A and B are shown apart, each in its own frame.
Chain A
Amino acid sequence: MKSATRIAALVILVGLGWLGWKHFFPSEETRIRRLLDDLAQTVSIPPGRSTVAAGLAVDKLLNYVTPDIEAVFDVRGEGQFTLSGREEVRDAAMAAHRNLSNLKVEFLGINISVAAGKQEATVELTVKATESGTKEFFVQEMQLHLRKQDNRWRVYRAQTVKPLRL
Chain B
Amino acid sequence: MQQDLQAQVRVSLWKRILIGRNPRRTMVRAAGLLVFSYIVFRHVLLPVRVVGRSMEPSYRDGSINAVNRLAYVFRKPRRGDVVGVRFSDFHIQYLKRIVGLPGETVAITNGIVYINGQPLDEPYVKDRDSWELAPVLLPDDNYFVIGDNRGMDQRLHDFGMTESARIVGKALW
Residues of A within 8 A of B (CB): 76-77, 108-111, 124-126, 128, 135-137, 139, 141, 161-166
Measured in the bound complex, the distance between the Cα atoms of B92 and A66 in whole Å is: 30
Q: Tell me the bound Cα distance from A115 to B159 in angstroms.
A: 33
Contacting residues of chain B (68-92) with chain A, CB-CB under 8 angstroms: 85-92
Given A136-B51, A139-B92 in contact, is the A163-B87 Cβ separation under 8 Å? yes
Residue of A136, A161, A163 ringed by the most chain B CB atoms within 10 A? A163
Partner of B88, one of A76, A126, A137, A165: A126
Cα-based distance from A139 to B155 in the complex (angstroms): 16
Beyond A76-B155, A136-B51, A163-B166, whether A141 also contacts B160 by CB under 8 A is no
- The interface residues of chain B lying within 8 Å CB-to-CB of A166 are 133, 136, 159-161
Q: Are A109 and B90 in contact (CB under 8 A)?
A: yes
Known: A77-B155, A136-B51, A163-B94. A126 touches B161 (CB 8 A): no
Complex alpha-carbon distance, A161 and B51, angstroms = 20
Chain B residues with a Cβ under 8 A of chain A: 51, 85-92, 94, 96, 133, 136, 145, 153, 155-156, 158-162, 166
Give the complex CA separation of A125 and B159 in angstroms: 20
Ranked 10 nearest A-B pairs via Cβ: A109-B89, A164-B160, A108-B89, A109-B88, A126-B89, A126-B87, A166-B160, A124-B88, A141-B87, A165-B160
In the complex, which residue of chain A has the Cβ closest to the Cβ of B145?
A164
Among the listed B51, B156, B159, which residue makes an inter-chain contact with A164, where contact means beta carbons less than 8 Å apart? B159
Give the shortest distance, in Å, between B152 (CB) and chain A (any CB).
11
- The closest CB in chain B to the CB of A128 belongs to B92
**B158 to A, closest residue via Cβ:** A164
Chain A residues near B94 (CB-CB < 8 A) = 163-164
Bound Cα distance A92, B122 (Å): 43
Distance, CA A82 to CA B91, complexed state (A): 28
Instruction: Return B96 CB to nearest CB of chain A, in Å.
Output: 7
When chains A and B are docked, how far (Å) is the Cα of A42 from the Cα of B10?
58
* Residues of the B chain whose Cβ atoms lie less than 8 Å from the Cβ of A136: 51
Q: Which of A124, A135, A162, A166 is packed against the most chain B CB atoms within 10 Å?
A: A166
Q: 14 other contacts beyond A109-B91, A125-B89, with CB at 8 A cut-off?
A: A77-B155, A108-B92, A109-B92, A124-B88, A126-B89, A126-B92, A135-B51, A141-B88, A163-B85, A164-B85, A164-B160, A165-B161, A166-B136, A166-B160
Alpha-carbon gap, A141 to B91, bound state (A): 13
Judging by beta carbons under 8 Å apart, are B160 and A162 in contact?
yes
Cα distance, A126 to B156, chains bound together (Å): 19
Complex alpha-carbon distance, A139 and B94, angstroms: 11
Whole-angstrom CA separation of A24 from B85 in the bound complex: 39
CB contacts (< 8 Å) of B156 on chain A: these are 76-77
In whole angstroms, what is the CA distance A40 to B89 when docked? 15
- Min C-beta distance of A1 to chain B, whole Å: 27
CA distance A162 to B88 in the complex (A): 10
